[in-house]
């Protein structure tokens, strides 16, 4: 009996939290997968270690200045190396069976679309691709005949809870939110929060940007927009509920009143394994749920008064057009400024709202028709948001 050939895979964002969780699973199931390429932004030492662990054919850093360090770290290993943004996109477009798209932020759009265009399965962890480029991104997926598999725990749970049934039979999809580190804080205290406070997530271990998004609840807003495009479901049938235990990740309510849910321990290896093994299942070392030990699960309505970022994302989804692209770009600018201690936590949603209003005044209202238009709009929106940073800095100091 001849063994099935190993599936060829590429990992984009290989040194981030989702990337390393993917590396862990690939290493555990090495007999099933052959790694074509691993790509990271600038962590040459980390990427070299990943390439050696996975016996990857090539390693690429998007930051050209990190290229010499990567080449030195992999000298004599047999792993080919290259550097620069174009090299990252080229590596993403190599023909493989499966790609993990886990480059954080809108920077992940160009390499992810390159992976989509080569037509394999793409496990999507970079929600900003859909928030930034929305319908244009989904048209590329359809044109290439690619398979898009959601890796965000919420969307992966929704996919599993949907069970292949028609979205027309769905009355409501509900994404759960942990509530982040400020779930019980008063509004005034939240506004004064420091980066070290916001980075202290109660249940998930993630990268800095997504952790700040979780603290503002912008992450849940971005996920609503992502769900809208992934499942072709209108905004009125999408909902959010705060569930601090992070055991239930998504719920589907069908029109007959039946509800199905996706449950798992808060470990990203569970949704990644679902996407990596699809349509088969892979074994993972994730903790198994013991509901008797957990005892009780609780739920709360989100408070958009204390967390206005969720309101802004909902409004952007309802508005359509360019709003989600502007929202995403402004949020990335604001979060970076907050992490650099240039602006306060309360300035993040304020700056996003200012940028959305400025985009309206400048006539930036049309939805991008192509990926190139989405990238141009993203750049223009970052300019609008950056122009509001001086005022925010003055408020913060």
pLDDT (tens place) for every residue of the chain, 397 residues total? 566 789 999 999 999 999 999 999 999 999 999 999 999 999 999 999 999 999 999 999 999 999 999 999 999 999 999 999 999 999 999 999 999 999 988 889 999 999 999 999 999 998 889 999 999 999 999 999 999 999 999 999 999 999 999 999 999 999 999 999 999 999 999 999 999 999 988 777 788 898 999 999 999 999 999 999 999 999 999 999 999 999 999 999 999 999 999 999 999 999 999 999 999 999 999 999 999 999 999 999 999 999 999 999 999 999 999 999 999 999 999 999 999 999 999 999 999 999 999 999 999 999 999 999 999 999 999 999 999 998 888 877 7
* Alpha carbon separation from 373 to 90, 147, 171, 366, 367 (Å, rounded): 20, 23, 33, 10, 9
Q: What is the pLDDT of residue 2?
A: 61
Q: Which residues of 220-235 are buried (b: 16+ CB within 10 A; e: fewer)?
A: bbbbbbbbbbbbebeb
Q: What is the pLDDT of residue 375?
A: 93
Residue 81 and residue 60 in contact, taking contact as beta carbons nearer than 8 Å? yes
Distance, CA of 359 to CA of 325 (rounded, Å): 10
Cβ-Cβ contacts under 8 Å for 112 (sequence gap 6 or more): 12, 92, 101, 103, 122, 124, 126, 129
Distance, CA of 101 to CA of 192 (rounded, Å): 34
Q: What is the pLDDT of residue 187?
A: 94
> What sign for the dihedral angle of Cα 308, 182, 125, 231?
negative
DSSP string, 90-145: HHHTS--SEEEE---SGGGHHHHHHHHHTTSEEEE--THHHHHHHHHHHHHHHHHT
Q: What is the pLDDT of residue 205?
A: 74
| 349 sits in which H/E element | helix 347-361
Distance, CA of 312 to CA of 216 (rounded, Å): 11
Angle between helical axes of 218-230 and 323-339 (0-180°, round to 10)? 150
């Amino acid at each position: 009996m001849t063994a099935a050939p190993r599936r060829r895979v590429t990992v984009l964002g290989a040194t981030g939290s989702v990337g390393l969780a993917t590396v862990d699973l690939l290493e555990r199931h090495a007999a099933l997968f052959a790694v074509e390429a691993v790509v990271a932004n600038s962590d040459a030492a980390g990427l070299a270690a990943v390439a050696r662990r996975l016996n990857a054919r090539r390693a690429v850093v998007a930051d050209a200045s990190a290229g010499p360090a990567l080449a030195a770290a992999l000298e004599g290993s047999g792993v080919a190396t290259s550097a620069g943004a174009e090299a990252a996109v080229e590596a993403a477009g190599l023909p493989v069976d499966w790609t993990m798209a886990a480059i954080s932020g809108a920077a992940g759009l160009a390499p992810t679309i390159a992976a989509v265009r080569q037509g394999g399965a793409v496990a999507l962890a970079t929600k900003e691709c859909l928030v930034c480029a929305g319908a244009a991104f989904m048209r590329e997926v359809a044109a290439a005949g690619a398979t898009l598999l959601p890796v965000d725990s919420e969307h992966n749970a929704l996919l599993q809870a949907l069970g292949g049934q028609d979205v027309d039979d769905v009355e409501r999809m509900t994404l759960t939110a942990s509530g982040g580190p400020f779930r019980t804080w008063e509004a005034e205290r939240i506004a004064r929060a420091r980066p070290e406070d916001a980075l202290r997530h109660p249940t998930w271990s993630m990268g800095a940007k997504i952790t700040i998004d979780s603290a503002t609840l912008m992450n849940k807003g971005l996920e609503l927009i992502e769900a809208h495009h992934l499942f072709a479901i209108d905004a009125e049938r999408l909902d959010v509920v705060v569930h601090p235990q992070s055991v239930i990740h998504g719920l589907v309510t069908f029109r007959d009143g039946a509800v199905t849910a996706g449950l798992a321990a808060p470990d990203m290896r569970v949704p990644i394994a679902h996407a990596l093994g699809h349509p088969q299942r892979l074994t993972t070392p994730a903790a198994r749920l013991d509901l008797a030990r957990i005892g009780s699960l609780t739920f709360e309505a989100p408070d958009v008064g204390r967390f206005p970022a969720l309101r802004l994302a909902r409004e952007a989804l309802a508005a359509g057009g360019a709003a989600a692209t502007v929202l995403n770009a402004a949020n990335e600018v604001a979060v970076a400024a907050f992490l650099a201690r240039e602006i306060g936590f309360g300035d993040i949603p304020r700056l996003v709202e200012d940028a959305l209003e400025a985009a309206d005044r400048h006539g930036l209202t049309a939805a991008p028709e192509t990926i190139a238009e989405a990238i141009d709009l993203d750049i223009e929106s970052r300019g609008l948001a950056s122009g509001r940073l001086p005022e925010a800095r003055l408020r913060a100091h």
